[in-house]
A and B are shown apart, each in its own frame.
Chain A
Amino acid sequence: MILFVGVAIALVPFLYVVSTSFKESTSLFSYPPDWIPSPIFWGNFESLFADHPFVQWTLNTLFVSGAVTALKLWFDSMAGYALAKMEFAGRRGVALLLLLSVAIPISALIIPMFFVVRYLGLLNTYWALILPPLANPLGIFMARSFIVGIPDDLEASARLDGASEFTIYRKIVLPLIRPGLVVLGMFTFMLQYTSFIWPLIAVQDSDRQVLAVGISGLQSAFLQDWGLLSAGMLAAAIPITVVFLLVQRAFVFNDLSGALKE
């Protein structure tokens, strides 16, 4: 019962968007609002794909989110392995520094980040969108918490067999933490897909922009064209939903809270 109410509240606003996206903007204000548009109007979608670089935005978003996710999973799992399994000078210091910086709000750093990225000459490029998110250390701790659970004997025996640390990482650790990485990957992808403030600042060129910023631009460019806006939102929701549905079949939802344990 509670669940049905929850699902209804979660979904009804989407129905509204679906219905609006197939209406002509002039018929939107009919009162009372009718849920099923008649006749079905495709003009909003036509205008979305013809007058705006919507496909380009989608591709940009998928490319940037995909690149960030792939790089982060790779780097974070390596760093997590080092923090979880290696004894080295300065380990506590590095861990403490990274842990402290988990709490640094990224949006407080937009001004200096803007100047750093400008100094590097990366403003208005894909690099400006891909590189800064890599600094977020939360993923390292999540990866570390997956790796800590692997029994030490496993790598010890591999080490006796002459495996290098990198081989151990690739051949033993990575396969074992895959379920965790899927969750971490989905989490990273989602955060990236929905990120807004940084792309808004770092990229001015409409052709290189991501979906979230692009759609919000639809509003200012065409004031209150609800039909077009709804079509944009509906079309923007489809890729991430598909990705989520694909991943969720293989989803063992690990408890990410382990990241900050201990």
Chain B
Amino acid sequence: MTHIDPGLTGAQMTLSPEEHRRLAKRYRRRTTLTAYAFLGPNLVAFVVFLLIPVVWLLVSTFRTGGVLGPAEFVGLDNWRDTFSDPLARTSIRNTVVYSAIAIPAVFIIAMILALALHAIPRGGAPIRVALYLPTLQPAVVAAFIFTFVLHPDFGVINYAVRWLGGDPINFLGDTTLALPTIAGIEVWRGTGFWTMMFLAGLTALPGELYHAAELDGAGAIRRFIRLTLPLLRPTFYFAVIFATIVNLQLFDSVFALTDGGPVNSTISVSLYIYRSLFLFGDIGFGATLSFLLVITVLLLTGLQTYLLRHRKFRLTTRPSTRNAALTPPRAGLAQAFQGRDRRSRCRT
């Protein structure tokens, strides 16, 4: 403050163009340096534990193992092996079938529960905690719980089946039932998480729109289809992407429940990758399968982005902009866990 240059008074406060350019450039350079300092720790982790592994994967798909001897370049051999391997195909099919069962099921159940929770004015907190408990368990724990519950000899479910006069069902020992059973267990575990997610989205919706719709005579179902679903699009977008990424990595529960059996009817891509490294030591093969998984997930999420963000709903509403216009940013974004909602609550 004390060092005010006597020349810099009144009209002379404006800088000459060169001076301005020089200072602006220096400012930009400094900001860039600061920005990278802020990003630094993350970028280091990103390069070491994500970028290098991905590049390593790509290179390994063209080479032999390298565990016992030196790795050799083998061209497209690994790719040919992977595509002609029937078990690789089975593992891909299982993973896809599993995701196709688990993701829609968990979304529908979670949506119903979220709507129900949203509709009750008070006392939701214990219910939310109870619903969230399964989500807090590691998948292996859920797996063991259900091995027990579903056990053909002494599980409760088969106790009920027998009491009703049926034959006990061997849920995990049957080649057609095992995969849907695993999907069911993951749905049990995931429901709490997605319920909270959807509830958060629901609570953030603008109440005014619903009042207007109600006045116009729109019924509950119509309000849900015309208002809630389009308005929740950002939530759905996140949900679909995240669920796809997570579910295509299915490993824990299969590993704990069936280890891929019976007769490989539940082997997942991740389990096969794990085996190719730790059982067969065939790194080239495992790397190729891993790389395929990476590509698949990237393409799928890209496709979902294209479908969910840039088309369809856009024609009818523009939820992201409308949403932003009507709700103050972040304010009251779903006090899902607080049980009190300052915004007017409405039946959705």
Residues of A within 8 A of B (CB): 2-3, 6-7, 9-14, 16-17, 20, 28-29, 31-33, 71, 74-76, 78-79, 81-83, 86-91, 94, 98, 100-116, 131-132, 134-135, 137, 140, 146, 148-149, 165, 169, 180, 190, 193-197, 201, 211-213, 215-216, 219, 226, 229-230, 233, 236-237, 240-241, 244-245, 248, 251-262
Contacts and interface: CB of A to CB of B under 8 A. Distances in A.
A147 to B, nearest CB: 10
A197 B274 contact: yes
A100 to B, nearest CB: 7
A20 to B, nearest CB: 7
A254 B159 CA distance: 42
Nearest to B195: A6
Contacts of A201: 274, 278
Interface residues of B, number: 99
Contact of B134 (A10, A98, A216, A258): A10
Given A75-B45, A165-B34, A261 B116 contact: no
B200 A193 contact: no
29 contacts: A12-B156, A13-B134, A13-B146, A16-B145, A29-B153, A31-B159, A71-B41, A88-B34, A89-B32, A103-B241, A104-B298, A109-B49, A111-B57, A112-B53, A112-B54, A116-B49, A116-B53, A132-B49, A212-B252, A215-B141, A216-B144, A233-B137, A244-B136, A252-B333, A252-B337, A253-B336, A253-B337, A258-B234, A260-B234
Contacts of B139: 194, 196, 212
Contacts, number: 305
Interface of B is mostly: helix
A135 B50 CA distance: 6
Given A6-B131, A196-B252, A236-B141, A134 B277 contact: no
B193 to A, nearest CB: 8
Contacts of B197: 256-257
B28 interface: yes
Nearest to B334: A253
A181 B193 CA distance: 17
Interface string B300-331: 01100000000000000000100000000110
Interface of B: 28, 31-32, 34-36, 38-39, 41-43, 45-46, 48-54, 56-57, 60, 109, 112-113, 116-117, 120, 127, 129-141, 144-146, 148-149, 153-154, 156, 159, 188, 191-192, 196-197, 199-201, 204, 234-235, 237-239, 241, 245, 248-249, 251-252, 255-256, 270, 273-274, 277-278, 283, 286-287, 290-291, 293-294, 297-298, 301-302, 320, 329-330, 333-338
